[in-house]
Amino acid sequence: MIERCLWTPNAQPLRPAAGSLSERVDVAIVGGGYTGLAAARVLARHGADVVVLERHTIGWGASGRNAGFVLPGYQADVESLARRYGLAVARRLFQISLQAVEQLENLVAAEPIDCDYSRCGALTLAAKPSHFRRLEQSHRFLRDQLSYHTALLRPGELAGEIGSSRYHGALLDPGSGALHPGRYCLGLAAAAEGAGAQLLEGAEVHGIRREAGRFDLTTARGPLSATEVLVATNGYTGPAFGRLQRGVVPIGSYLIATAPLDPSLSERLLPRGRVASDTRHLLSYFRLSPDRRMMFGGRASFTPTSTRRSAEILTAGMCRVFPELAGRAGRVRLGRKGRVHDGSPASRGAGGRNPLRARLLRPWSGAFLVAGRADGRCVGGTHTGSRSRRPARSLSPIPRHPLVSSAGRRLLPRA
């Protein structure tokens, strides 16, 4: 089993940023993933002096290691959002995510970004008969309350979608898609840089304090003063950001992949090339990569475990779904996602007098890819004075998660 990022060999590294760190900028963005890069692009296009500070390399975290699903939605499902915040807010949030899918498609075409994007559709597969009844409820809610059309597939209708008899029906979302996340992230970085943003790698932020109406940052590349700071670090939010870190649980997630499959086998397993996930609590998700590898991911455990053991658990899960793939898993990667305690898809600060803006949306699912794009665009529009609709802005500050403490973090899988 080879432990490395599955997408790295097929993504060209970003060239090092020219010049040194500026001493003063309008906006400092911490984190070089989808959210930070999208915000940097929008801000720079409107004339702001922007720098992106990435601890490792651009796309090193979840943005470069996810499965590449492009789905509308958020960490919390839209029905839960409607129950918590009301139907009107849920409708507006869902509409923003649909617009983000369209904006992603437009960006990929306009730049252009070579990332193998396809609106292939997504399957949510019922792991139990009772789960199919929940999918029926979701289908009706999306249709009746949000005017969004999906298709219900009963067990006898799955043969044309998946070469497995393990599931009890599915919900098909034809508006979802897939792409190569590494290429997309680097393409977004190139677009941000082309708009005038400065991207700095190896620029970990060690400290931040408010001084005379500005933020003074201490970084591995030197000191920096910024009018505003956007924190786009998600599951990698570090101790330099205090309360923001305490509001996010870092959760380990794994993805394994086979060697490239014969076309006849890959077409038998996923005849229509959909992306798919199931309804188990520790869900599994899978797809075919552009070079016909079966990619199978999920959380292998609620508690810490080794990469090898996690790979064994996921390989067993993959073989339960597709017995033909026994002995074919060849690569594995570990990444970290962050979970906000209340699951709200909001752009929120840490509370108190320190108005840092936290970008803490759903990672490691397709909604993360779309939400990161939408969230970065929205926050960029806010800072440039555009009237981006942000219905979640009025939601509560990021709450401290009950599991997040020096002890609690040791109970969670780490990346």
Total H helices, total E strands in the chain: 10, 19
User: Per the structure block, which two tokens stand in for 248?
Assistant: 């996010």
Give the per-residue pLDDT at 388.
47
Of the pLDDT bands very low, low, confident and very high (cuts 50, 70, 90), residue 60 is confident
Q: What string of DSSP letters covers 283-325?
A: -EEEEE-TT--EEEEE---SS---HHHHHHHHHHHHHHH-GGG
The per-residue pLDDT for 169 is: 99
In a domain, residue 149? The reply is yes
- Report residue 26: phi and psi, to 5°: -75, -50
Residue 241 has a pLDDT of: 73
Q: What is the per-residue pLDDT across 202-239, written as a single tens digit (0 to 9) for each?
A: 999 999 999 888 999 999 999 999 999 998 887 666 77
Mean pLDDT of 193-206: 95
Residue 180 burial by CB count (10 A; 0-12/13-18/19+): exposed, middle or buried? buried
Tell me: the pLDDT tens digits for 283-311?
Answer: 999 999 999 999 999 876 656 667 788 88
**CB-based contacts of 331, cutoff 8 Å, min separation 6:** 1, 2, 3, 4, 6, 256, 257
- Cα-flanking dihedrals φ and ψ of residue 353, to 5°? -95, 0
pLDDT for position 373: 55
pLDDT digits (tens, 9 = 90+) for 333-382: 655 555 555 555 545 554 444 445 443 333 333 454 665 555 555 555 55
How confident is the prediction for the chain on average, in pLDDT?
81
Does 401 score more than 90 pLDDT? Answer: no
CB 218 within 8 A of CB 206: yes
Q: Say if 271 falls within a structural domain.
A: yes
> Of the ranges 20-29, 42-51, 154-163, 245-254, which one carries the lowest mean pLDDT score?
245-254
* 403 confidence band (pLDDT: 50, 70, 90): very low
pLDDT score for 63 = 85
Mean pLDDT on 235-253: 65
Whether the per-residue pLDDT at 326 is higher than 70: the answer is yes
Compute the average pLDDT of residues 45-69. 91
pLDDT in tens, 74-83: 877 899 999 9
Q: What is the pLDDT of residue 309?
A: 83
Of the two residues 30 and 374, the one the predictor is more confident about is 30
Structural domain contains residue 318: yes
Residue of 175 and 400 predicted with greater confidence: 175
Tell me if 195 is assigned to some domain.
no
Residue with tokens 């599994």: 284
Q: Are 345 and 320 in contact (CB under 8 A)?
A: no
What CATH number is associated with residue 329?
3.30.9.10
Residue 264 lies in a domain: yes
φ, ψ of residue 70 to 5 degrees: the values are -120, 95
Residue 178: beta bridge partners? 69, 118
pLDDT in tens, 380-393: 555 555 544 444 44
Burial of 229 (0-12, 13-18, 19+ CB in 10 A): buried
Let me know: does 289 contact 273? Beta carbons within 8 Å.
no
- Count of domains for the chain: 1
Average pLDDT over residues 258-283: 96
User: Residue 249 has what pLDDT?
Assistant: 61
Query: Is 270 among the domain residues?
Result: yes
Q: What is the pLDDT of residue 240?
A: 75
Q: What is the pLDDT of residues 87-126, one digit of tens each?
A: 999 999 999 999 999 999 999 999 999 999 999 999 999 9
Mean pLDDT of 178-200: 95
Domain coverage including residue 318? 119-175+250-340
Classify residue 314: in a domain, yes or no.
yes
Pick the range with the lowest mean pLDDT from 65-69, 193-197, 276-280, 328-332. 328-332
Task: Tell me the pTM.
Answer: 0.83
- Whether residue 231 is contained in a domain is answered as no
